[in-house]
Amino acid sequence: MQVELNSVWRVHNLDGLEDGLYRVLQLYTKEHIVILFPLLESKALQRPLKLDFDFFNEAIKTGNSELRSYELPYYQLQSEDDISGSYLVKRDEKYRLISELVSDPYFLLNLVEQPRSKAISIHAKAHNTYVQNIYRALNLYWKYGQERNALLPSYKNSGGRGKSRVAGVAKRGSPIQLSSPSIEVPEGVNTTEHDKVLFLKAYPPHEPTGRYC
């Protein structure tokens, strides 16, 4: 099976890696190295990992690494015309912090092979910002597919009118109460991120975003 950039794999029982989901950030064919990034829900900053490509390919053959999908937040899937201008400004500000780094084809290789390198510290100083700010932007960029929209402000966990939250497995809202206990009520499902994209596209031009979500 071909390993593609930005593809996501579920790894289990593989020496040197914790079980979980990983995104392929880069393939260095000459060096036989694949760069992976752990896709965790933790807010802690993560670093890319390197793995021998032949070892990773063998894990695919043995079933220890399986191709998986990874759903992006719906607000990252909108066209630029549907995104708030203030959000685009914030996105582009973050991208400018890392654009020089991510445009270097050997940045990731140098990062994993020289973990104590001061390259990012020097880069942060040149941009008059903190190293943590660079790593936060990089983590978002790596986690969500190395696209500029990965740096859009996240409002998925906020509440209140006009705000949006990503639904979990449990059904939202109060359960339906019936006077006749003999009637079975379907459990229902939550709106998915893909559904929200379709809803947004179907909004009347003057309806405020989030009113019906």
When pLDDT is cut at 50, 70 and 90, the band that residue 192 belongs to is confident
Q: Point out the domain boundary residue: 68, 84, 111.
A: 68
pLDDT score of 202: 67
Q: Does a structural domain hold residue 167?
A: no
* Residue 83: Cβ-neighbour burial (10 angstroms; 0-12, 13-18, 19+): middle
Task: Give the pTM.
Answer: 0.73
Angstrom CA distances, 65 to 5, 39, 57, 83, stand at: 15, 14, 8, 36
Write out the residue range of the structural domain in which residue 117 sits.
Answer: 74-151
Domain presence at residue 199: no
Q: What is the pLDDT of residue 112?
A: 96
Reported as a single tens digit per residue, the pLDDT across 157-167 is 444 344 454 55
Do 64 and 86 lie in one domain? The reply is no
Residue 179 included in any domain: no
Count of structural domains within the chain: 2
Is there a domain that residue 210 lies in?
no
Domain boundary, last residue among 118, 151, 184? 151
Same domain, 135 and 96: yes
